[in-house]
Amino acid sequence: APQEATVQTITPTGDSHEVTFEWTASRLGRQRLIIRAEPHPDEIRDDNNQKELLVNVVDDVARVLLIDGEARWEFRFIDNALTRDERVDVDQVVFSQPFLGIRNEPFFSSRLEVPDGENPLERSVLADSDLVIVGDAGPEALDQAAWSLLESFVSDAGGTLVMVAGKRDLPNKYRFEAFKNLIPVDELVPLEFTDDQGRRSPTRRGFGIALSPEGQREPMLQFHLDPTENRRVWDTLPGHTWGLVGVPRPGSTVLARPSFRGRPTRIPDPKQQALFVHHYHGLGQVQWLGIDSTWRWRHRTGDTYHHRFWGQLARWAAHNKAVSGNASVRLGVETAEVTAGEAVAVTVRWRPDVLERIGDLSAQAEFHPAPSKGETAAGSPLAIARLTAVDGRPLLWRGQATGLPPGDYQLRLSVSDPGIDTAGVTADVFVHPPTSGELNNLAGDHLHLAELAVASGGQLVTLEQLDSLAELLVGTRSHRELTEDMLIWNHWTVLLGFFVLMTAEWVVRKVHGLP
């Protein structure tokens, strides 16, 4: 049954006005929300005054595996943040632990077991994990077999891997092929503040974090519902004195760059500004964090932002792993919500034994209208996405469908061999109505302009902030040299010298009584 509507009355103060709604879900599952604006009496058209949204409400516990070489500061605070979260179940692996003589065994597990034989992932501790966080652990602890297992966890099981930069081992000491496939950034260089700028007050120390437009839209990076307030929070977080920045790999997305807060940049190559980077790998995803000091965010705020960041990241990872599948195949979509006219990208990951057993296999993804709760989609599909193997990766098949009208759909996998069980292998997709041309925003893109200003060591000043421009320019100097050619008899000093000589000659003559 429809819930009672939440109503807000606003008085716009400009060409656009942003409104934030807080909604409390009363049940679990996929729920449709409608945002509607009452038409103005003078409005020409009112067919674009509402928009539908699809929200999937879950009550799952995110399972996290936290791995580090030793219990450094970052590990301790991440572990505390996740352990205190009632919706997170966390396990720890710390390879080097001090022996205190209190217990006969280490407090945390000190080894990541990599099972031998077939299907090691299903028999490992990673099988039930949604998120694996790897800190500054070296290759002597995480060997090639361990990284192959982590790659399988990401690409085959749809898991999320977070790499937290370390000063000693990660990523500098790794040369494994699986590691290179997973890390979403190349050409890493250190960004370090050991001078006076690294010893200033927390909010002025080192470098801050500037979210990219893509990062602004990521739920795990949102500290406030209002985008302007969210940017303000990130701008005021304590700075960092060390980090690793680099060039994003093709297909990856930069979520954040270092912010020098009005000071000259310390990055020699403008391309090497990727601090938080994300990319998809198979059915899973990898997140690179180029800092090892998110614990600094607790300064004067306690758990507010540090715990929220890691809690949101854990739930974001658990949501991504909610990919349908069975013992033979896993099915997923790149995004569960698109706008009419956009393509829906479908990914299928096969178990190796399936393709070995069936040589000539064909598969397609079928789009059906979403059935009612407890029912199964039936009838002819409204659209079909043909699936083909990706070059160089025979177990990964992809396809896409376009032209779906607005609505709620259930995606089902259909294969040519009846011996493969695809019952229950489904995914949900929601297609939004196309955006009206009336809603196109022709105003200046402040997010991109601010990003450009920060990248060049400057600051964005809007029209409303012009009164502060003089203060920002205080202390700046400009030196210019001009060279101009001039005939000597056209210069004023020549004229002055001529009159001086004439006057001296007249005085000499008068002194000697000459006419």
Q: Based on the fold, state whether residues 204 and 353 are members of the same structural domain.
A: no
Residue that is last in its domain, among 403, 436, 469: 436
167 Cβ neighbours under 8 A, 6+ residues apart:
136, 242, 292
Q: Are 286 and 279 in contact (CB under 8 A)?
A: yes
Q: Based on the fold, state whether residues 337 and 313 are members of the same structural domain.
A: no
CA 93/CA 132 separation, integer angstroms: 11
- Tell me the residue range of the domain where 503 lies: 484-514
**Total H helices, total E strands in the chain:** 10, 21
Residue that is last in its domain, among 378, 401, 436: 436
pTM of the model: 0.63
Beta bridge partners of 264: none
First to last CA, the chain: 122
Q: DSSP 3-state assignment of 406?
A: coil
Q: Are 382 and 330 in contact (CB under 8 A)?
A: no
> What pLDDT, in 10s, does the model give residues 95-143?
999 876 677 778 899 999 999 988 899 899 998 899 999 999 999 999 9
> What pLDDT, in 10s, does the model give residues 296-322?
999 988 889 999 999 999 988 987 775
Residue that is last in its domain, among 401, 436, 471: 436
Q: Based on the fold, state whether residues 121 and 146 are members of the same structural domain.
A: yes
Q: Based on the fold, state whether residues 318 and 339 are members of the same structural domain.
A: no
Q: Based on the fold, state whether residues 164 and 268 are members of the same structural domain.
A: yes
Q: Based on the fold, state whether residues 400 and 271 are members of the same structural domain.
A: no
- Residue 40 covered by a domain: no
CATH code of the domain covering residue 411: 2.60.40.10
Q: Is a pLDDT exceeding 70 seen at residue 440? A: no
Q: Are 326 and 314 in contact (CB under 8 A)?
A: no
Local confidence band at 61 (pLDDT 50, 70, 90 cut-offs): confident
Q: Name, of 152-156, 202-206, 333-337, 362-366, the range with top average pLDDT.
A: 362-366
Worst-scoring range by mean pLDDT, 145-159, 232-246, 431-445? Answer: 431-445
Helix, strand, coil percentages for the chain (3-state, nearest 5): 25, 30, 45
The tokens describing 274, both together, are: 């990727």
- Residue 471 covered by a domain: no
The conformation of residue 409, written as its DSSP 8-state character, comes to E
